[in-house]
A = this chain, B = another copy of it.
Amino acid sequence: MSQPPEGPDFSIADVAREGLIERPGTEPVPHDGTGRVDLAFTVHSKAEGGADVPPAQRSVRVPPGVTVFDAASWNGIAIDSTCGGHGTCHKCKIQITSDVEVPITRHDARTFTESQLTDGWRLGCLVHATRDLKVEVPPLTTRPKAATVGIGRQVILRPALQKRYVELAEASLADQRTDLVRLTEAIDDLELTADLHVLRRLSTVLRQADFKVTAVIVDEALIDVEPGDTTGSRYAIAFDLGTTTVVGTLLDVGTGTPMAVTSMLNAQQPFGGDVITRISATMMDPDALGRLQDAAGRTLSELTAQVCREAGVDPQHVYEVAVAGNATMTALALGIDPEPLGVAPFVMSAAQPPSVLASDIGLDIHPRARAFFFPALGAYVGGDIVAGMLATGMDRDKRTRLFIDVGTNCEIVLSDGETILSTAAPAGPAFEGGAIRCGMRAADGAIEVIKLDPGAEGDDPAVTLGVIGDVEPKGLCGSGLVDAVAELVKVRLLDSSGRFVPDEDAKEIAPALADRMARIGEERVFILHRPTPDAEPNECVYLSQRDVRELQFAKAAISTGWSLLLEELGLEHRDVQQVLLAGSFGSYLSPASAVRIGLVPQLPVLRIVAAGNVAGEGAKMALLSVRERAGALALLEEVTYVELSDRPDFNDAFVDQLSFTAP
């Protein structure tokens, strides 16, 4: 691959002002329900001094429509950028080497020559990945002042973690300033405080290093003094501490570059799959809180070790972490008794966890590293949602937007550009494959996409399945469940009350599908996949009448939630300009199916977008910018939490929401 072509220099004047710049042109577009796209990145880099280094290969899987730039960023692959995706900085040059046609925008046309365009050069922030692509990423050329994170959010780099290299005058009888004053007067734009642990090292390090040292600062706390100039090594880790999955991203906060990303299952899994079972564990066994805390610490430690190993970073150079988790995960990681979160009236110990040391949560990084935990709006609208609101700019956008994090507990945020409301809806385990007969997690063998053709003839398939890992289907994950019900409603094999139509009607309505209607015992089922042509129904992957009921209750809980929030603000469905589906499940949900079953308001699917792992993105933003972090804390004041279980009209609204909208 050639070096990236030279283009006109970009002036960063227009992003130098503080704050955020919306990047509407590159918001993820809704995908069409056909699954995922694979992006094969070849990442080029230079060693210190400019020598070439063998390129690294990285393959990532994302929902269709995500920009190549975001797909790279979310997966820890750094691409030059200073403008935050307006297409103005013309820095995020990439080369598409797949043999596919990629649209040429006016920005591409200004940036590249005709022959470069023919060679596949494009601006990464303007390429929407709608199919599998091979992407060449040139070496980084700039040291950015801003980074793009979240959903098109441009963050001016102002990390809480700073390093300052200073060369101090040595003490003399005429200058007996204390070591601390000597240092802090050299860094006089900050009001530094030093704790005992720094003072224990300070005099020794100063003298061993001939008074040439690097101050390590988090916010205004001097957490260490290192000999010589170590300003090049300043790292932090953003954690998305999910009930099921935990994701860690190692960031170079000096550049905003994600150095490595990895994820693993939360080691608390053996205590139960959801927050309620884990809270129950602490209520039944006095040792369980300590063991859950340990498990959280182990998980975070393991991820820390992995991202540091992958990026070749010494864990002692990681000085801060940010953790976005729901209220229960946050309490358990901190060793705070979660019981009041689990029983009415659902009260937190504190909305804003105190500032703690990373060692308090079991991390073996720099011994005085700090841990920032996102605050929570309520027992069931936690720090993960606050982080997600930060990443999606819920408090900065003038549009009417609905944010839904679909899961066992579903968090809902509605903003009309002025007022922000939030609530939580107990959707139950259906979306995570729980309580569904053939349900499973979104892992290899899970059906995640379903298309039904009721009138298919000849070789045309009546049932088209998208299966994770492209293997023999073994079960049905959340997005597959929603697709299955939505398609069955669409072809009218399910009526609006959620009941399978009689077999006679089925033959008439959907002749190509009628042979899939069966019974297991007394219960009616729809066969999605037969492992062998003569397999018995209970040997197949199927959707049962009871499964449909489970989904109905789950979606009714959610739609009751946002319906009541809309009502609070006096809004109709059509007033919602954007629906953000968040979380690992929400991002993979088919917007069309979500509309079909009424999980989201009745809107054009183009208004419904997958937002990705916004909790993790928010955690990154908090590490890269103290202003963004302050914004997250300000959300506690700005957002009104609405408790649904307290409302007399909840049950009526719930019953209204149970039925499926007629197709």
- Residue ranges of A at the interface with B (Cβ–Cβ < 8 Å): 171-181, 193-196, 199-200, 202-204, 207, 334-337, 339-340, 344-351, 353-354, 356, 360, 378-379, 641, 643, 645-646
Q: In the complex, what residues of B have CB within 8 A of residue A202's CB? A: 349-350
Among A348, A350, A356: residue with most chain B CB under 10 A: A350
A346 contact from B174, B176, B347, Cβ within 8 A: B176
Given the known inter-chain contacts A196-B354, A356-B196, please indicate yes or no for A203 contacting B349, CB distance below 8 A. Answer: yes
Is the Cβ of B195 less than 8 Å from the Cβ of A354? Answer: yes
**Number of copies of this chain that the complex holds:** 2
Among residues of B, the one whose C-beta sits closest to the C-beta of A360 is B196
Q: In the complex, what residues of B have CB within 8 A of residue A199's CB? A: 334, 336, 349-350, 353-354
CA distance A339 to B205 in the complex (A): 12
Given the known inter-chain contacts A196-B334, A199-B349, A199-B353, please indicate yes or no for A645 contacting B179, CB distance below 8 A. Answer: no
Given the known inter-chain contacts A200-B335, A207-B340, A337-B200, please indicate yes or no for A350 contacting B171, CB distance below 8 A. Answer: no
Q: In the complex, what residues of B have CB within 8 A of residue A207's CB? A: 340
Q: In the complex, what residues of B have CB within 8 A of residue A356's CB? A: 196
Is the Cβ of B178 less than 8 Å from the Cβ of A351? Answer: yes
Among residues of B, the one whose C-beta sits closest to the C-beta of A207 is B340
CA distance A498 to B452 in the complex (A): 115
A352 smallest CB distance to B (angstroms):
9
A203 contact from B196, B204, B339, B643, Cβ within 8 A: B339
Q: Other than the known A171-B345, A199-B353, A203-B337, what 20 A-B pairs have Cβ atoms closer than 8 Å?
A: A171-B347, A173-B344, A174-B646, A176-B347, A176-B378, A176-B379, A179-B340, A179-B348, A179-B349, A180-B350, A181-B350, A193-B354, A194-B354, A196-B335, A196-B353, A196-B356, A199-B349, A202-B350, A203-B347, A207-B340
CA distance A173 to B337 in the complex (A): 20
A319 smallest CB distance to B (angstroms):
19
Is the Cβ of A203 less than 8 Å from the Cβ of B336? Answer: yes
A173 contact from B181, B193, B336, B345, Cβ within 8 A: B345
CA distance A378 to B175 in the complex (A): 12
Q: In the complex, what residues of B have CB within 8 A of residue A334's CB? A: 196, 199-200
Given the known inter-chain contacts A203-B339, A356-B196, please indicate yes or no for A347 contacting B179, CB distance below 8 A. Answer: yes
Q: In the complex, what residues of B have CB within 8 A of residue A193's CB? A: 354
CA distance A506 to B121 in the complex (A): 110
A371 smallest CB distance to B (angstroms):
10
Q: In the complex, what residues of B have CB within 8 A of residue A336's CB? A: 196, 199-200, 203
Given the known inter-chain contacts A179-B340, A207-B340, please indicate yes or no for A194 contacting B350, CB distance below 8 A. Answer: yes
List, sorted by A's number, 21 A–B pairs whose CB atoms are closer than 8 Å.
Answer: A171-B345, A173-B344, A173-B345, A174-B646, A176-B345, A176-B346, A176-B347, A176-B378, A178-B348, A179-B340, A179-B347, A179-B349, A179-B350, A180-B351, A195-B354, A196-B354, A196-B360, A199-B350, A202-B349, A202-B350, A203-B349
